[in-house]
A = this chain, B = another copy of it.
Protein backbone atom coordinates (compact mmCIF):
# COMPACT_ATOMS: atom_id res chain seq x y z
CA UNK A 1 0.00 0.00 0.00
CA UNK A 2 1.21 3.48 -0.82
CA UNK A 3 0.73 6.72 1.08
CA UNK A 4 -1.66 9.54 0.27
CA UNK A 5 1.23 11.72 -0.91
CA UNK A 6 2.30 9.03 -3.38
CA UNK A 7 -1.01 9.17 -5.26
CA UNK A 8 -0.23 12.42 -7.12
CA UNK A 9 3.05 10.82 -8.25
CA UNK A 10 1.14 7.87 -9.72
CA UNK A 11 -1.49 10.17 -11.26
CA UNK A 12 1.26 12.34 -12.76
CA UNK A 13 3.16 9.42 -14.23
CA UNK A 14 0.13 7.62 -15.68
CA UNK A 15 -2.08 9.94 -17.76
CA UNK A 16 -4.90 7.36 -17.66
CA UNK A 17 -4.97 7.09 -13.86
CA UNK A 18 -7.70 9.69 -13.33
CA UNK A 19 -9.96 7.89 -15.81
CA UNK A 20 -9.61 4.48 -14.15
CA UNK A 21 -12.62 3.07 -12.35
CA UNK A 22 -12.76 3.42 -8.58
CA UNK A 23 -11.97 -0.27 -8.29
CA UNK A 24 -8.96 -0.01 -10.59
CA UNK A 25 -7.67 3.00 -8.66
CA UNK A 26 -8.03 1.00 -5.47
CA UNK A 27 -5.85 -1.75 -6.95
CA UNK A 28 -3.13 0.80 -7.50
CA UNK A 29 -3.39 2.26 -4.03
CA UNK A 30 -3.70 -1.07 -2.20
CA UNK A 31 -1.27 -3.17 -4.17
CA UNK A 32 1.51 -0.73 -4.94
CA UNK A 33 4.45 -0.67 -2.60
CA UNK A 34 7.21 1.84 -2.11
CA UNK A 35 10.81 0.72 -2.14
CA UNK A 36 13.93 2.70 -1.37
CA UNK A 37 17.22 1.97 -3.07
CA UNK A 38 20.68 3.17 -2.20
CA UNK A 39 22.87 4.88 -4.72
CA UNK A 40 24.33 2.15 -6.94
CA UNK A 41 21.99 -0.55 -5.68
CA UNK A 42 20.68 -3.06 -8.19
CA UNK A 43 16.91 -2.99 -8.73
CA UNK A 44 16.35 -5.41 -11.58
CA UNK A 45 18.81 -7.82 -13.03
CA UNK A 46 17.32 -9.46 -16.05
CA UNK A 47 15.34 -12.56 -16.66
CA UNK A 48 14.80 -13.73 -13.13
CA UNK A 49 13.01 -10.50 -12.19
CA UNK A 50 9.56 -9.46 -13.27
CA UNK A 51 8.56 -7.00 -10.61
CA UNK A 52 5.87 -5.09 -12.43
CA UNK A 53 5.31 -1.45 -13.30
CA UNK A 54 7.76 0.94 -11.68
CA UNK A 55 7.27 4.66 -11.15
CA UNK A 56 10.23 6.73 -10.02
CA UNK A 57 9.24 8.97 -7.13
CA UNK A 58 12.67 10.42 -6.40
CA UNK A 59 16.25 9.88 -7.47
CA UNK A 60 17.31 8.48 -10.82
CA UNK A 61 17.52 4.98 -12.27
CA UNK A 62 19.79 3.68 -14.98
CA UNK A 63 18.62 1.05 -17.44
CA UNK A 64 21.46 -0.68 -19.25
CA UNK A 65 22.71 -3.83 -20.90
CA UNK A 66 25.92 -5.61 -20.05
CA UNK A 67 28.06 -8.13 -21.90
CA UNK A 68 29.59 -11.33 -20.57
CA UNK A 69 32.88 -9.51 -20.39
CA UNK A 70 31.40 -6.65 -18.39
CA UNK A 71 31.02 -3.97 -21.05
CA UNK A 72 27.96 -1.81 -20.54
CA UNK A 73 25.69 0.42 -22.58
CA UNK A 74 23.25 2.77 -20.90
CA UNK A 75 19.86 2.81 -22.63
CA UNK A 76 17.97 5.44 -20.62
CA UNK A 77 17.69 7.00 -17.20
CA UNK A 78 14.18 7.17 -15.73
CA UNK A 79 13.75 10.26 -13.54
CA UNK A 80 10.98 11.21 -11.06
CA UNK A 81 7.55 11.00 -12.66
CA UNK A 82 8.68 8.50 -15.28
CA UNK A 83 7.62 4.91 -15.55
CA UNK A 84 9.58 1.79 -16.29
CA UNK A 85 7.60 -0.96 -17.99
CA UNK A 86 10.46 -3.24 -19.01
CA UNK A 87 10.43 -4.56 -15.44
CA UNK A 88 7.06 -6.09 -16.37
CA UNK A 89 8.19 -7.43 -19.73
CA UNK A 90 7.16 -10.95 -18.77
CA UNK A 91 3.53 -9.96 -19.37
CA UNK A 92 4.27 -8.31 -22.71
CA UNK A 93 4.22 -10.28 -25.89
CA UNK A 94 7.24 -10.00 -28.14
CA UNK A 95 9.41 -8.14 -25.64
CA UNK A 96 12.12 -10.67 -25.20
CA UNK A 97 15.31 -9.06 -24.01
CA UNK A 98 16.92 -8.41 -20.69
CA UNK A 99 17.97 -5.13 -19.17
CA UNK A 100 19.58 -4.33 -15.86
CA UNK A 101 18.37 -1.48 -13.70
CA UNK A 102 20.34 0.22 -10.93
CA UNK A 103 19.55 3.20 -8.78
CA UNK A 104 22.00 5.77 -10.10
CA UNK A 105 21.14 7.97 -7.13
CA UNK A 106 19.37 7.12 -3.89
CA UNK A 107 15.83 6.56 -5.19
CA UNK A 108 12.26 5.90 -4.13
CA UNK A 109 10.32 3.69 -6.50
CA UNK A 110 6.61 2.83 -6.48
CA UNK A 111 6.00 -0.70 -7.74
CA UNK A 112 2.76 -2.26 -8.92
CA UNK A 113 3.24 -6.05 -8.86
CA UNK A 114 3.10 -7.70 -12.24
CA UNK A 115 -0.14 -9.63 -11.66
CA UNK A 116 -1.98 -6.44 -10.70
CA UNK A 117 -0.47 -4.57 -13.60
CA UNK A 118 -1.61 -7.27 -15.96
CA UNK A 119 -5.11 -7.04 -14.47
CA UNK A 120 -5.23 -3.26 -15.09
CA UNK A 121 -3.98 -3.68 -18.67
CA UNK A 122 -6.72 -6.22 -19.34
CA UNK A 123 -9.54 -4.08 -17.98
CA UNK A 124 -8.37 -0.66 -19.19
CA UNK A 125 -7.66 -0.26 -22.89
CA UNK A 126 -6.11 3.09 -22.11
CA UNK A 127 -3.63 1.50 -19.69
CA UNK A 128 -2.64 -1.04 -22.34
CA UNK A 129 -2.31 1.75 -24.90
CA UNK A 130 -0.12 3.79 -22.55
CA UNK A 131 2.15 0.78 -22.04
CA UNK A 132 2.55 0.50 -25.79
CA UNK A 133 3.36 4.20 -26.02
CA UNK A 134 6.05 3.82 -23.38
CA UNK A 135 7.50 0.84 -25.25
CA UNK A 136 7.56 2.86 -28.49
CA UNK A 137 9.21 5.74 -26.71
CA UNK A 138 11.89 3.47 -25.22
CA UNK A 139 12.43 1.96 -28.64
CA UNK A 140 13.11 5.47 -29.92
CA UNK A 141 15.57 6.08 -27.05
CA UNK A 142 17.41 2.89 -27.86
CA UNK A 143 17.64 3.81 -31.53
CA UNK A 144 19.21 7.10 -30.49
CA UNK A 145 21.77 5.31 -28.32
CA UNK A 146 22.54 2.98 -31.19
CA UNK A 147 23.03 5.90 -33.57
CA UNK A 148 25.37 7.49 -31.04
CA UNK A 149 27.40 4.32 -30.97
CA UNK A 150 27.65 4.35 -34.74
CA UNK A 151 28.20 8.09 -34.87
CA UNK A 152 30.86 7.88 -32.19
CA UNK A 153 33.12 6.20 -34.66
CA UNK A 154 33.50 9.60 -36.28
CA UNK A 155 35.45 11.02 -33.32
CA UNK A 156 37.91 8.19 -33.72
CA UNK A 157 38.22 8.78 -37.43
CA UNK A 158 38.58 12.51 -36.99
CA UNK A 159 41.32 12.00 -34.39
CA UNK A 160 43.14 9.63 -36.74
CA UNK A 161 42.83 12.14 -39.56
CA UNK A 162 44.29 14.95 -37.44
CA UNK A 163 47.22 12.76 -36.38
CA UNK A 164 47.82 11.75 -39.95
CA UNK A 165 47.90 15.38 -41.05
CA UNK A 166 50.31 16.46 -38.31
CA UNK A 167 52.61 13.57 -39.16
CA UNK A 168 52.54 14.24 -42.88
CA UNK A 169 53.04 17.99 -42.43
CA UNK A 170 55.38 17.60 -39.46
CA UNK A 171 53.89 20.50 -37.57
CA UNK A 172 51.22 21.12 -35.00
CA UNK A 173 49.14 23.52 -37.06
CA UNK A 174 46.96 22.12 -39.82
CA UNK A 175 45.66 24.54 -42.44
CA UNK A 176 42.41 23.02 -43.59
CA UNK A 177 38.71 23.84 -43.78
CA UNK A 178 35.98 21.85 -42.08
CA UNK A 179 34.50 21.28 -45.50
CA UNK A 180 37.69 19.57 -46.67
CA UNK A 181 37.87 17.37 -43.58
CA UNK A 182 34.24 16.42 -44.13
CA UNK A 183 35.13 15.44 -47.68
CA UNK A 184 38.01 13.26 -46.50
CA UNK A 185 35.86 11.51 -43.94
CA UNK A 186 32.71 11.18 -46.01
CA UNK A 187 30.80 13.30 -43.53
CA UNK A 188 29.03 16.66 -43.51
CA UNK A 189 30.68 20.00 -42.64
CA UNK A 190 28.26 20.67 -39.77
CA UNK A 191 29.03 17.32 -38.20
CA UNK A 192 32.78 17.95 -38.42
CA UNK A 193 32.41 21.46 -36.97
CA UNK A 194 30.46 20.04 -34.03
CA UNK A 195 33.01 17.34 -33.41
CA UNK A 196 35.93 19.79 -33.66
CA UNK A 197 34.21 22.01 -31.09
CA UNK A 198 33.91 19.00 -28.84
CA UNK A 199 37.64 18.28 -29.28
CA UNK A 200 38.32 21.93 -28.46
CA UNK A 201 36.26 21.79 -25.27
CA UNK A 202 38.23 18.69 -24.30
CA UNK A 203 41.47 20.68 -24.70
CA UNK A 204 42.75 18.52 -27.53
CA UNK A 205 42.88 21.22 -30.19
CA UNK A 206 42.31 24.90 -30.82
CA UNK A 207 40.12 25.77 -33.76
CA UNK A 208 40.93 29.01 -35.58
CA UNK A 209 39.88 30.54 -38.86
CA UNK A 210 41.36 28.41 -41.61
CA UNK A 211 42.91 25.77 -39.44
CA UNK A 212 43.44 23.69 -36.35
CA UNK A 213 46.19 23.74 -33.75
CA UNK A 214 47.07 20.52 -31.95
CA UNK A 215 47.27 21.06 -28.18
CA UNK A 216 47.20 17.60 -26.67
CA UNK A 217 48.49 14.91 -29.05
CA UNK A 218 48.37 12.21 -26.36
CA UNK A 219 44.66 12.75 -25.83
CA UNK A 220 44.03 12.74 -29.58
CA UNK A 221 45.91 9.46 -29.87
CA UNK A 222 43.79 8.05 -27.11
CA UNK A 223 40.61 9.17 -28.90
CA UNK A 224 41.98 7.57 -32.06
CA UNK A 225 42.24 4.29 -30.19
CA UNK A 226 46.06 4.41 -30.19
CA UNK A 227 46.43 5.59 -26.59
Interface size on A, residues (CB 8 A): 40
0/1 per residue, A107-142, Cβ < 8 Å to B? 000000000000000000100000011111111101
What copy number does this chain have within its complex? 2
Q: Within 8 Å of chain B (Cβ to Cβ): is A69?
A: yes
Contact A97 B144, beta carbon cutoff 8 Å: yes
Contact A150 B187, beta carbon cutoff 8 Å: no
Contact A151 B69, beta carbon cutoff 8 Å: yes
Contact A146 B65, beta carbon cutoff 8 Å: yes
Give the CA-CA distance A132 to B139 in the complex, in Å.
12
Taking beta carbons and an 8 Å cutoff, which residues of A are in contact with B? 65, 67-71, 73, 92-97, 125, 132-140, 142-147, 149-151, 153-154, 157, 185-188, 191
8 A-B pairs closest in CB distance: A67-B151, A94-B136, A94-B137, A97-B143, A132-B132, A67-B150, A139-B139, A69-B187
